[in-house]
Amino acid sequence: MIRFAEVTSFSTHEKLPDGKDIMLALRMERRLQCEMQLSVRVHIWENQIQLFGTVPSWYQKQCVQEIVRELAPEYRIKNDLLVHSH
């Protein structure tokens, strides 16, 4: 899956994501795709990581968060993943 980073409007007090943050987000998305077969969107800005998407269980939602925490322990994580059970 190839995804291009998209920059949307930022307020003047927010800094734009730098190359390091963009590469970290892509690495996280790839790892989640490979290890968990999940398509999760990762947005990083300042010192926060925000997770978007849908997962099939609360357990997987927590697993995603733990993988992200392992890759970037210095960031705050905002887990906005939705659980969609069948």
Position 19 scores a pLDDT of: 86
Domains of the chain, earliest start first = 19-83 (3.30.300.30)
Which pTM value belongs to this model? 0.75
Please provide the DSSP assignment of the chain as one string: -----------TTSPPP-HHHHHHHHHHHHHHHHHH----EEEEETTEEEEESEES-HHHHHHHHHHHHHH-TTSEEEE-PEE---
Position 38 scores a pLDDT of: 93
Position 17 scores a pLDDT of: 63
37-61 per-position pLDDT tens digit: 999 999 998 899 999 999 999 999 9
Residues with pLDDT less than 50, the chain: 1-2, 4-12
